[in-house]
């Protein structure tokens, strides 16, 4: 007689998971990434690619060419792709472009600014943190004063759209200040690239960082850095890591057309398809307009439920919107999440430090009708919970 009985648990079968998921309607992701993608983008991942095959090398080259063109970066800038999430690319850019004795000013108004500070700590690069409120855009005048007060600051690392609150920082004005003080600007444009206007021919930026699974509406798995050629040429020997050495990646790709290590082939193929759809839609202006309409519809409809935005409209980016949680004893985000998920929409938890919030994304292969329907699902769930905003 055994001391205890053990019930048999069959091994997880991928076919069973896929079949179960196919019986459910695919949810609309109202998050800052991963995003809801189009059928065409998904279909692009049905083909396998050889990592050294010439056709795949051409695919990579075409993706990089288009990425630089979106922000009018030719001929001064180049695109260096990197395996991994956007944070891999942020760390790669900071570790490659900031010398080991460099000093970085970080205007801080959210969680992704804090992540940059954390990365710099791991890299052993000195950071100067310029604190702003979570509802306060980074201030160009304060940045200029900080640069004037400390000539040892060599770089500024800015998050363009801080999605912990959804705030848009004034990129062009900050870039002008940084250039005037003869410092180098590195921009995390993870949640703004391809949605908000950025022009590298008129806005002085040394490196712009984004990823495949954001506003280009590809799938996660590839980050990229659009860097000035001269800055990349001068970066040899800075990197702390072989895998994240963007200079080495760039030199190798120039020489061979290939990635140094196993590339995310299906991600690149999906991004090629997503870029084709981006151009067909009308490029950045059209995509930005669709997201703006999504945001406008979302905010207006949520306000009819009595829900309040954390940010004022004049600093709200059309990427993700933070809402105050209802001040009601029956409110619980996990219950709201599950109730809305059952109706086909995935929300995002809040990321602010002082108050309880939740977030709703406006980006991805979705339109204003989807956002309106999502708000109806939120309202229905709140009523079922007995919550009034």
User: Which residues make Cβ contacts (< 8 Å) with residue 2, sequence separation at least 6?
Assistant: none
The span from the CA of 367 to the CA of 287, in Å, is 10
The whole-number pLDDT of residue 377 equals 98
Q: How is the chain split into domains, by residue range?
A: 14-37+282-385, 39-279
User: Which residues make Cβ contacts (< 8 Å) with residue 191, sequence separation at least 6?
Assistant: 32, 33, 160, 161, 163, 214, 215, 317, 319, 320, 363
The whole-number pLDDT of residue 107 equals 98
The span from the CA of 359 to the CA of 323, in Å, is 6
- Report pLDDT digits (tens) over 316-349: 999 999 999 999 999 999 999 999 999 999 999 9
- Report pLDDT digits (tens) over 53-74: 999 999 999 999 999 999 999 9
As to burial, measured by CB atoms within 10 angstroms (0-12 exposed, 13-18 middle, 19+ buried), residue 167 is buried
- Neighbouring-strand partners of residue 357: 324
In this prediction, residue 388 has a pLDDT band, given cuts at 50, 70 and 90, of confident
The whole-number pLDDT of residue 4 equals 39
Same fold, 14-37+282-385 and 39-279: no
In this prediction, residue 26 has a pLDDT band, given cuts at 50, 70 and 90, of confident
Residue 171's Cα: distance from chain center in Å?
16
- Report pLDDT digits (tens) over 237-296: 999 999 999 999 999 999 999 999 999 999 999 999 999 999 999 999 999 999 999 999
Q: Residue 9: is its pLDDT beyond 80?
A: no
The helix/strand/coil state of 294 is helix
Q: So what CATH class is 14-37+282-385?
A: alpha beta
Q: What is the CATH number of domain 39-279?
A: 3.40.640.10
Mean pLDDT of 89-105: 98
Q: Residue 363: is its pLDDT beyond 90?
A: yes
- Report pLDDT digits (tens) over 134-167: 999 999 999 999 999 999 999 999 999 999 999 9
> Given the DSSP bridges, would you call strands 167-168 and 161-162 parallel, antiparallel or unpaired?
antiparallel
Q: How much is the mean pLDDT over the chain? A: 93
Are the C-beta atoms of residues 131 and 146 closer than 8 Å to each other?
no
The whole-number pLDDT of residue 179 equals 98
In this prediction, residue 354 has a pLDDT band, given cuts at 50, 70 and 90, of confident
As to burial, measured by CB atoms within 10 angstroms (0-12 exposed, 13-18 middle, 19+ buried), residue 67 is buried
């Amino acid at each position: 007689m055994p001391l205890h009985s053990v019930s048999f648990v069959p091994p997880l079968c991928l076919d069973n998971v896929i079949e179960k998921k196919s019986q459910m309607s695919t949810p609309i992701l109202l998050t800052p990434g991963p995003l809801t993608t189009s059928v065409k983008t998904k279909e692009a991942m049905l083909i396998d690619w050889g990592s050294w095959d010439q056709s795949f090398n051409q695919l990579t080259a075409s993706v990089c060419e288009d990425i630089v063109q979106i922000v009018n970066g030719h001929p001064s800038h180049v695109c260096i792709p990197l395996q991994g999430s956007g944070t891999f690319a942020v760390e790669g850019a900071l570790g490659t472009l900031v010398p080991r004795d460099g000093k970085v000013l970080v205007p801080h108004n959210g969680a992704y600014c804090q992540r940059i500070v954390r990365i710099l700590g791991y890299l052993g690069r000195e950071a100067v943190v310029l604190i702003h409120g979570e509802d306060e855009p980074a201030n160009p005048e304060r940045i200029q004063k900080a640069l004037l007060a400390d000539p040892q600051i060599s770089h500024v690392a800015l998050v363009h759209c801080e999605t912990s609150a959804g705030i848009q920082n004034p990129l062009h004005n900050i870039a002008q200040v940084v250039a005037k003080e003869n410092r180098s600007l590195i921009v995390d444009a993870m949640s703004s690239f391809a949605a908000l206007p950025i022009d590298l021919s008129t806005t002085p930026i040394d490196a712009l960082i984004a990823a495949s699974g954001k506003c280009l509406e590809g799938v996660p798995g590839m980050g990229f850095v659009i860097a000035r050629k001269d800055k990349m040429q001068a970066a040899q020997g800075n990197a702390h890591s072989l895998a994240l050495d963007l200079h080495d990646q760039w030199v190798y790709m120039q020489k061979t057309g290939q990635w140094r290590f196993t590339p995310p082939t299906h991600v690149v193929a999906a991004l090629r398809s997503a870029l084709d759809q981006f151009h067909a839609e009308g490029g950045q202006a059209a995509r930005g307009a669709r997201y703006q309409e999504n945001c406008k519809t979302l905010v207006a409809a949520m306000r009819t439920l009595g829900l309040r935005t954390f940010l004022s409209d004049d600093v709200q980016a059309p990427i993700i919107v933070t809402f105050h949680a209802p001040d009601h004893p029956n409110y619980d985000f996990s219950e709201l999440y599950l109730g809305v998920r059952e109706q086909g929409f995935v929300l995002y938890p809040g990321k602010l430090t002082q108050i309880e919030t939740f977030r709703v994304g406006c980006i991805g292969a979705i339109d204003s009708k989807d956002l309106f329907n999502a708000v109806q699902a939120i309202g229905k769930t709140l009523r079922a919970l007995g919550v009034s905003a």
